[in-house]
Amino acid sequence: MDGRSTGAINPDIGLFGAAGEAEGEAELRHGWPIILVAFLGITVGISSTFLFSTGLFLKPVADAFGWGRGTVSIAPFVASMLTALCAPFVGRCVDRFGVLPVLLPSLLGLAAGLLLLGMLSADFFSYVALMALVALLGAGTAAPVITKMIIAGFKRRRGLALGLSLAGSGLGGGLIPLFLTPIIAAHGWRAGYMALAGIELAGFAVIGALIWLWRRTILPPARPTGARVPRQEAAVSADGPPLLRDRTFLLLALAFFLSAWGILTTVVHFVPMLTDAGVDATRAAGMAGTIGAALIFGRIVVGYLLDRLPAVALAQCLFAMVAAGMLTLVAGGAHVAVVALIAAIAAGIGIGSENDIMSFLVGRYYATSRFGSVNGALFAVFLVGGSIGPAASGYMYDATGSYTLALLLSAGALVTAALLLFALPKLPSSAASG
Helix (H, G, I), strand (E, B) or coil at 219: coil
The confidence band for 10, taking pLDDT boundaries of 50, 70 and 90, is: very low
- Asked whether the beta carbons of 255 and 378 are under 8 A apart, the reply is no
Measured in residues, the chain has a length of 434
Among residues 157, 174, 194, 202, which one has the least CA distance to residue 40? 202
- Asked whether the beta carbons of 306 and 356 are under 8 A apart, the reply is yes
What pLDDT sits at residue 6? Answer: 40
Convert 401-420 to b/e letters by CB count within 10 Å (16 or more is b). Answer: eebeebbebbbebbbbbbeb
How far is residue 418's CA from residue 343's CA, in Å, rounded to a whole number?
Answer: 18
Q: Is the pLDDT of residue 222 over 60?
A: no
Among residues 429, 420, 433, 4, which one has the least CA distance to residue 252? 420
CA distance readout (Å), 270 to 80, 229, 350, 373: 18, 47, 14, 32
What pLDDT sits at residue 171? Answer: 76
Top pLDDT among 66 and 357 is at 357
What pLDDT sits at residue 412? Answer: 93
What pLDDT sits at residue 333? Answer: 52
Mean pLDDT, residues 96-106 taken together: 87
Side chain identity at 307, as an amino acid letter?
D
What pLDDT sits at residue 54? Answer: 76
pLDDT in tens, 58-90: 778 877 777 776 777 777 778 877 877 888 888
How far is residue 328's CA from residue 324's CA, in Å, rounded to a whole number?
Answer: 6
How far is residue 378's CA from residue 359's CA, in Å, rounded to a whole number?
Answer: 9
pLDDT in tens, 119-136: 877 677 888 888 888 888
Every domain of the chain and the residues it spans? 28-220+235-422
pLDDT in tens, 132-159: 888 889 888 887 788 888 887 787 788 8
pTM score, whole prediction: 0.69
Top pLDDT among 104 and 26 is at 104
CATH class of 28-220+235-422: mainly alpha
How far is residue 16's CA from residue 7's CA, in Å, rounded to a whole number?
Answer: 24
What pLDDT sits at residue 30? Answer: 78
How far is residue 251's CA from residue 253's CA, in Å, rounded to a whole number?
Answer: 5
pLDDT in tens, 378-405: 888 887 888 788 878 888 888 888 888 8
Helix (H, G, I), strand (E, B) or coil at 315: helix
What pLDDT sits at residue 14? Answer: 42
Among residues 395, 127, 130, 379, which one has the least CA distance to residue 257? 379
Side chain identity at 170, as an amino acid letter?
G
226 exposure class (CB count in 10 Å sphere: 0-12, 13-18, 19+): exposed
Q: Which residues does 269 contact at the CB level (< 8 Å), separation at least 6? A: 55, 58, 390, 393, 394, 397, 403, 406
How far is residue 322's CA from residue 313's CA, in Å, rounded to a whole number?
Answer: 15
What pLDDT sits at residue 109? Answer: 92
Query: How many Å from the N-terminal Cα to the C-terminal Cα in the chain?
Result: 17
The confidence band for 430, taking pLDDT boundaries of 50, 70 and 90, is: very low
The confidence band for 23, taking pLDDT boundaries of 50, 70 and 90, is: low
How far is residue 157's CA from residue 195's CA, in Å, rounded to a whole number?
Answer: 36
What pLDDT sits at residue 433? Answer: 38
Q: Which of 6-15, 166-175, 370-379 has the lowest mean pLDDT?
A: 6-15
